[in-house]
Amino acid sequence: MNVIDSRPYELLIGERWRAGAQGRTFDTLNPATGRVLAQVHEATEADVDAAVLAAHEAYQAHWRKTTPAERGRLLRRLAALFERDREKIAWVETLNVGKPITHSLDSLKAMPSSLEYFAGIIPAVRGETIPVGNHNVLNFTIREPLGVCALIMPWNYPMTLTVNKLGPALAAGNTVILKPSEVTPLSTMVLARLFEEAGFPPGVVNVVNGPGSTVGERLVTHPLVSRVSFTGGTVTGSRIVASTAADVKRVTLELGGKSPLIVFEDAPLEQAVAVAAGDLIKNSGQVCIACTRLLVQESIKREFLDRVQERLDAIRIGSPEDPATEMGPLVSAAQKQRVEKYIRIASEEGARPVQYGSLSGVVETGFFVKPTLLMDSQARMQSAQDEIFGPVQSVISFRDEDEALRIANDSRYGLAAVLFTRDGGRALRMARGIQSGSVAINTGVRTSFDAPFGGYKQSGIGKERGLEAIYENTQLKNVKYDMSV
């Protein structure tokens, strides 16, 4: 399927697709081969200013005044178009991100439903009347949109995260600027072509491409941007907080993770093994919520690891375009170097890296790394503390429930956690004690568009998805009306 444009992908600003003001383009690669896949026009600060102005004018002129029914109709139309083009978008994402085509197709199945969900819950976003001390005063609240929202995407799941940020922002009545990662911008550009066909007015959705250091920085500091939603690394998230502090913008951050998978001796082992192996290879471990610390009770450690290793030995690593491939490449040469560096660090710290699978069928210039378990890890090792973002898991043993909880919480991150046990009391005690925004019991952490998602500690601020995502995209006004006058 020929899904990649031969001409450079342009910016969407207001009603026009156009090149960047300075005419510069940048390459985006196919990570399975390391070769250039397409070229993309690079925005300048002037382009960002133009996009923000277009969004601001669209918001002030008409979008903020649209009814919930109108916004819902447009989102449902977009959902139908997405379903029509889902296979094409999945292939673009596979070629640009490197995830296997079966995974791309599967991960995009829920996107039309996500748009329909946010279209459907718009009427639920309403104020309330509040009895106050004076019976002559009618007190009520109104939920209002924020204005222009900057939505900044990461490179690992560009389409899933674009849709799950975009839906609630538009549903709430905001206009948006999409800023895809410069590493994997293509699927977002394909999506952007559907907005005019769906009937969205010009300026409601805009797309600018380019480095975070210029395009992203201008977006988050622009005085007409009311809200920034960012998914990515904690270091960048911290910089965004600092950059937006001067004019006190609303900020939602979904940042790094070092999630524990805790396996007790009474665990259903087959299910635990499936989650452990699946988190290691899914999108080559480039998943923020992936469990990258395997905490295994000493009494079952050998049996559990034998089963995990058996599963990993059978993993098929290969071209993402092959439906039989279970694990593809990392997204870039830089990410491959980062992962390999941490494997060396782990070895120097005293852990024992063991790798699985075969790279015999892959292109040498691709960015492949074998799935790796860091045996004999300790909780305070750098490799067990830092987010590596690749197919690497630290294996740490524990004696009892108290030690498992202590190790699980011994992290600056708090995005997610998984635990396996048949003891209901223990499961609930651990769920209460674990310092994470999401906890899964006897299943893996799988985000859903209709449930809130967000981290504790350095894993983020605010919530994405679910009704809470609408609240993140609105502001609450309190009104008092003295009826005696």
Question: What one-letter code names the amino acid at 482?
Answer: D
Query: What ranges in 39-135 are assigned the alpha helix state H?
Result: 45-61, 68-97, 101-107, 111-121
Residue identified by tokens 């009770």 is 297
User: Rounded distance, CA 207 to CA 189, Å?
Assistant: 8
Containing 253, the helix (H) or strand (E) segment is strand 250-254
Known catalytic residues are 254, 288
Count of residues making up the chain: 485
Task: Measure CA 413 to chain center.
Answer: 16
Residues sharing a CB contact under 8 Å with residue 25, sequence separation 6 or more, in sequence order: 8, 39, 40, 41, 42
Q: How far apart are CA 457 and CA 449, in angstroms?
A: 22
Q: Which contiguous run of DSSP H or E holds residue 359?
A: none
Q: Is 378 in a helix, a strand, or coil? A: coil
DSSP element (H, E) containing 347: helix 333-349
Count of beta carbons in the 10 Å neighbourhood of residue 406: 12
